[in-house]
Amino acid sequence: MKALLLIDIQNDFLPGGSLAVPECDAILPIVNHLQAKFELVVATQDWHPANHKSFAGQHAGKKVFDTITLNGMEQVLWPHHCIQGTPGAEFAEALDMHRVEAIFRKGTNPEIDSYSGFYDNGHLKSTALAEYLRGKGVTDVYVAGLAADYCVYFTAKDALQEGFATYFIEDATRAISSEGFERAKEDLLSKGGKVIQSSSLLA
């Protein structure tokens, strides 16, 4: 059974948002069309408290995109984004949510970032997404959404590690950096993931 995971398609990552991913509005019609091809559609939602330690504003003298060590792990510092209950954290207006059966929120612990829909970045706590998918009989996971080089990539990597056949739908995602996009694809391919185009599903 195939599931489509819609990763973090939220206002703050869209044009005009605080952490806008270049050209990402192009994915919206694609992810809306794709949903009809899946028996199960699930979304993730980046959902940070206002004092989240991934925000550059929480660290005196640091700026956006600096890298620090946070609780023993490398952490990129981001602009404020996807703060719980704010418009920036809402799903994109143009995203069709009718068929989304469950929403997995992540990034709620201020002390640790959480790119993957399955685990925080330290793999300390699970969201139970893997158990949810297995409980639904899912064997194949297709990832789309934002951003390709962070949350989509980390979700796909964990999906592979959890034993799901994993497909990264290249044209249904956009990256923060083009180098990051290439690195993500290469790494997923090396781990047994597949990189596909939406046309192969829509045909």
Residue ranges that bind ligand VGL, judged by CB under 6 A = 8, 46, 78, 115, 146-147, 150-151
Instruction: Assess contact for 92 and 43: CB atoms under 8 A.
Output: no
Rounded Cα–Cα distance for residues 107 and 172 (Å): 23
- Decide if 140 is catalytic: no
- 12: contact with Zn ion by CB under 5 A: no
Site for Zn ion in 68-127 (CB under 5 A): 107
Check 106, 113, 157, 185 and give the catalytic one.
106
Minimum distance of ligand VGL from residue 111's CB (angstroms): 15
Q: Any idea what the Cα angle at residue 29 is, between residues 26 and 35, rounded to 5°?
A: 130
Burial class (CB in 10 A: 0-12, 13-18, 19+), 135: exposed
CB neighbour list of residue 41: distance below 8 Å, 6 or more residues apart: 3, 4, 6, 35, 99, 100, 101
Query: Collapsing DSSP states into helix, strand and coil, what is residue 182?
Result: helix
Burial call 104-115: b when 16+ CB within 10 Å, e when fewer: bbbbbbeebbbb
Query: Should residue 46 be labelled a site residue for Zn ion when binding is judged by CB under 5 A?
Result: yes
Q: Are 184 and 148 in contact (CB under 8 A)?
A: yes
Would you say 87 or 137 has its CB closer to Zn ion?
87
**Shortest Å distance, C-beta 95 to ligand VGL:** 14
Does 8 interact with Zn ion (rule: CB under 5 A)? no
Taking the complex as a whole, the smallest distance from the CB of residue 35 to ligand VGL amounts, in Å, to 19
User: Which residue's CB is nearer to Zn ion, number 142 or number 150?
Assistant: 150
Q: Catalytic residue at 82?
A: no
The active-site residue out of 24, 46, 149, 151 is 151
Please state the closest distance from residue 53 (CB atom) to Zn ion, in A: 11
- Chain residues binding Zn ion by CB under 5 A are 46, 107
Give the residue numbers marked as catalytic: 8, 106, 151
